[in-house]
Amino acid sequence: MGLKDCADNLIGSDLVKGISGGEKRRVSIAVQILTDPRVLLLDEPTSGLDAFTANSIMEVLQGLAQEGRTLILTIHQARSDLFKSFGNVLLLARGGSPTYSGPAKDMLSYFSTLDYHCPRHTNPADFALDLITVDLQEERRETESREKVRKLVESWSSVVEGSKSITEIISSNPRTGGEEKVDTRSSQLSANVYEENEANGVNLEANGGSDEKRGTQHDTDDAVLRKQPSIPTSRRSQSVHKTTLVTPAELGALVRKRASFWTAFPLLLHRAAINFSRQPPLLLARTFQVIGLAIVLALFFAPLHHDYYSIQNRVGFVQEICAFYFVGMLQNVAIWPAEREVFYREDDDAVYSIEAFLATYTLLELPFEIVSCLVFGVLADFAVGFPRTAELYFVLVFCAFGIVSCGESLGIMFNTLFNHTGFAVNIVSILLSVAQVIAGIISIDMPRVFQIFNYLSPTKYAVAALARFSLDGVTFTCDDSQRLPDGRCPIETGQQVLELYKLDVNGVTNLIALAGTVIAYRLVAWLLLRLVRTRWKSIIELRRRGS
């Protein structure tokens, strides 16, 4: 595909400077060729390319067609040396109305029968497109061109409805002066292309202007292709060594099986690792959001004391760990949409399974979350001033990890349900804000419906576990102005704080519940992804066929 010079360059994106547009087009063609398709649809594969590269790509496509594949491509203003590669040509006027459908070698001869002669040394593709294009620049020219196109459409309709083939019409029409006379120019363009098996050529859809190309092709267009006698009906496929493919069993044999999990998973993991290593911003998005928030919390709350005011500081820090819910969601937004689009394309080609893709994403996500949460644990346990124990350090790390992972899973869910990332973020942000409010510190006495909803939130279990392990066994002092009439402090122990906030629960049980929530969220994300890519996809296809 002529990509050796840019083999080590990034493809690029809206933010990353990469290869040129023409090189991207060739990469996309090459990726599709790798899947060994029986039918390949290409939209303007030569646009924006220099003449040599465009000709090289057409040679590759022609070789694929000669192997027994069907190639259908749209193209604008094809050069004359490219036109000779086309097998069958479909010309569509404005609105998708066909004006010609048949062998490219007969196109000029057919238009000659209608008194439209291609000037010598003129590109046949330019001549045909100019002929069927409506000129909108001036009212008089628009009227004339519309009338001309209307006659061309009607003439082709009469050919379809008649019983004669294009060859018979050309031979019998006195305007052409016989087949030998009109085929001189087109035969030179078609040399070495139309040989024994005419079906091995490349199919072409050529449209008069951009509107014509985008026009909708109606059911009559299918009738044109079915009734046209000049279009070959058989195809010799070197791949399956059969002249025709007619039975459902034979067609079913062409269905590609997806690569197994154990085949696809290491390849996807290797590709994703390379992609990450080439894009430092992704590494920063994965790592420094957690660490950055940890630094801010450490600067705000450190150092914790044991006086009366430190009670609110300790409880406030426990509540602020819920902010990692947003961090997980934002990490997903930074990476998932681009990964999703690549997976959707490859899933349409039945390359690998959903499980292989999601397992790759999850496995690549885990190291960054674990490392960043370990750093958070150091800052929280040592800098802020919590009891410096291995047990509390593990609890801090695991609570942060659990909330971040659940935020990632929620991002996967909603970015799978909604293709619009901004809309998905708006919906998720509402849910995360509610979950943070009802986690157990701000809202102590909640309505029943919120209490039920809270059991689905990882923040409930993280706050309960962290509060138990960080306040258990802690004692507080107060000054004389804060003492009660009997001389005691209003709150003297961490146990009293837990009872006040209704957090006197089993910490280990809540850690187990948090672990279960992490697994459940990811399983739900997997089920939604499978549902969207299987069930809903089938329903949409059925509706399209019905309409």
Of the candidate ranges 127-136, 210-219, 301-310, the one whose mean pLDDT is the lowest: 210-219
**Six-digit token string for 343:** 């997976």
> Which of the four pLDDT bands, split at 50, 70 and 90, describes residue 369?
very high
379-403 as b/e, with b when 16 or more CB fall inside 10 Å? bbbebbbbeeeeebbebbbbbbbbb
Mean per-residue pLDDT over the chain, rounded: 79
Q: Are 239 and 67 within 8 A, CB to CB?
A: yes
Q: Are 503 and 440 within 8 A, CB to CB?
A: yes
Rounded to an integer, the average pLDDT of 336-365 is: 90
> Which of the four pLDDT bands, split at 50, 70 and 90, describes residue 240?
very low
**Six-digit token string for 501:** 């906030």
Write the DSSP symbol of residue 490.
Answer: S
> Which of the four pLDDT bands, split at 50, 70 and 90, describes residue 7?
confident
- Give the pLDDT of residue 537: 63
Task: Report d(CA 273, CA 270) in Å as an integer.
Answer: 5
Task: Report d(CA 86, CA 62) in Å as an integer.
Answer: 8
Whether the per-residue pLDDT at 238 is higher than 90: the answer is no
Q: Which helix (H) or strand (E) holds 205?
A: strand 202-207
Tell me the range of 1-15, 229-243, 246-260 where mean pLDDT is highest: 1-15
**Six-digit token string for 173:** 């029409």
> Which of the four pLDDT bands, split at 50, 70 and 90, describes residue 233?
very low
- Give the pLDDT of residue 420: 86
**The model's pTM:** 0.71
- Give the pLDDT of residue 198: 33
Q: Render pLDDT for 153-187 as a digit per residue (tens, 0 to 9).
A: 888 888 887 766 666 666 666 555 433 333 323 33
pLDDT higher at 187 or 337:
337
Bridge partners for 204 per DSSP: 73, 89
User: Which contacts qualify for 373-378: CB closer than 8 Å, 24 or more apart?
Assistant: 373/290, 373/397, 373/398, 373/400, 373/401, 373/404, 375/290, 375/291, 375/294, 376/290, 376/291, 376/293, 376/294, 376/400
Q: Are 501 and 315 within 8 A, CB to CB?
A: yes
- Give the pLDDT of residue 308: 84
Q: Render pLDDT for 253-276 as a digit per residue (tens, 0 to 9).
A: 556 688 899 999 999 999 998 888
Nearest one of 371, 395, 400 to 297, comparing CA atoms:
400
Whether the per-residue pLDDT at 459 is higher than 90: the answer is yes
Of the candidate ranges 338-342, 348-352, 381-385, the one whose mean pLDDT is the lowest: 381-385
Q: Give Cα 450 to chain centroid, integer Å.
A: 36
Whether the per-residue pLDDT at 523 is higher than 90: the answer is yes
Of the candidate ranges 35-44, 149-158, 429-438, the one whose mean pLDDT is the lowest: 35-44
